[in-house]
């Protein structure tokens, strides 16, 4: 299927996730092929010496899906290649116990446990229709990532972070959404009204951004 300006849907979201993984500024992964997506596609085509027509046909797809080692070099596809529709199995932790979990993309290069990711993406689309952007700033975290956040917290340089192994982010069920740290942000207010419907609760006091999937 060829995607072009004004295309919509899951394939567009997949395209946007791939562009993002290639370090291109695509904006929100929302499944709508708008101006930002068009610009990112053209940049990508130029970078790969494809015809720069802003249309995503077989050649552009092929280049996107094999772009793991892009010339920009800084993209590391160590967790979930967004082309894997059913997600990627990683080492997570649940209440201190290592556990294999399957994660899937939620946008901005972040991931959640696959079931939570599916619900988050649905919720994000609903918020979008209401004019509210749910932009994930943290999702699934590896042990190394949690250790470094915990160290920063202990040193007084970061937000409250759970002991490594014990964060819901390591089980892939928590997501931090951009709220400017404010309970009066549109993202928080929308989530407070609708999050539960998608299985998400705000379970850390003082952290309007932190939402956990309880199913
Ligand atoms: Zn969090």
Question: Where along the chain do its domains lie?
Answer: 10-69, 88-213
d(CA 5, CA 196): 34
Ligand 1 centre from 42 Cα, in Å?
A: 35
Instruction: Give the pLDDT band (50/70/90) at residue 81.
Output: very low
Ligand 1 centre from 139 Cα, in Å?
A: 8
Helices 35-47 and 10-21, packing angle to 10 deg = 50
Ligand 1 centre from 160 Cα, in Å?
A: 9
Which of these, 18, 59, 12, lies nearest to 33 by C-alpha position? 12
Q: Round to the nearest angstrom and report the end-to-end CA distance of the chain.
A: 34
Query: What integer pLDDT is reported at residue 59 of this predicted model?
Result: 87
pLDDT in tens, 155-189: 999 889 999 999 999 999 999 999 999 999 999 99
Place of tokens 């990683």: 90
What is the CATH code for 88-213? 3.30.1380.10
CB atoms within 10 A of CB 146: 20
Query: What integer pLDDT is reported at residue 204 of this predicted model?
Result: 94
Which of these, 168, 37, 201, lies nearest to 96 by C-alpha position? 168
CB atoms within 10 A of CB 15: 26
Question: CATH number of 10-69: 1.10.357.10, 1.20.20.10, 1.10.101.10, 3.60.21.10?
Answer: 1.10.101.10
Ligand 1 centre from 135 Cα, in Å?
A: 13
Phi, psi of 62 (to 5 degrees): -60, -45
């Amino acid at each position: 299927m060829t995607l072009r300006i004004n295309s919509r849907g899951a394939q567009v979201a997949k395209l946007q996730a791939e562009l993002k993984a290639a370090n291109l500024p695509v904006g929100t992964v929302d499944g709508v092929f708008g101006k930002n997506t068009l610009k990112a596609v053209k940049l990508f085509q130029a970078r790969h010496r494809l015809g720069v027509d802003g249309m995503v046909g077989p050649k552009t797809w092929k280049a996107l899906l094999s772009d793991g080692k892009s010339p920009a070099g800084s993209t590391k596809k160590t967790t979930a290649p967004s082309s894997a529709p059913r997600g990627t199995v990683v080492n997570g932790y649940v209440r201190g116990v290592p556990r294999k979990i399957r994660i899937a993309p939620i946008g901005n290069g972040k991931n959640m446990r696959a079931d939570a990711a599916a619900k988050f993406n649905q919720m994000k689309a609903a918020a979008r229709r209401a004019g509210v952007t749910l932009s994930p700033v943290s999702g699934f975290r590896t042990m190394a990532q949690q250790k470094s956040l915990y160290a920063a917290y202990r040193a007084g340089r970061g937000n409250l972070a759970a002991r490594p192994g014990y964060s819901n982010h390591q089980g892939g069920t928590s997501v931090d959404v951009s709220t400017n740290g404010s309970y009066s942000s549109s993202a928080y207010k929308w989530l407070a009204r609708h999050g539960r419907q998608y299985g998400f609760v705000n379970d850390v006091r003082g952290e309007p951004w932190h939402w956990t999937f309880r199913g």
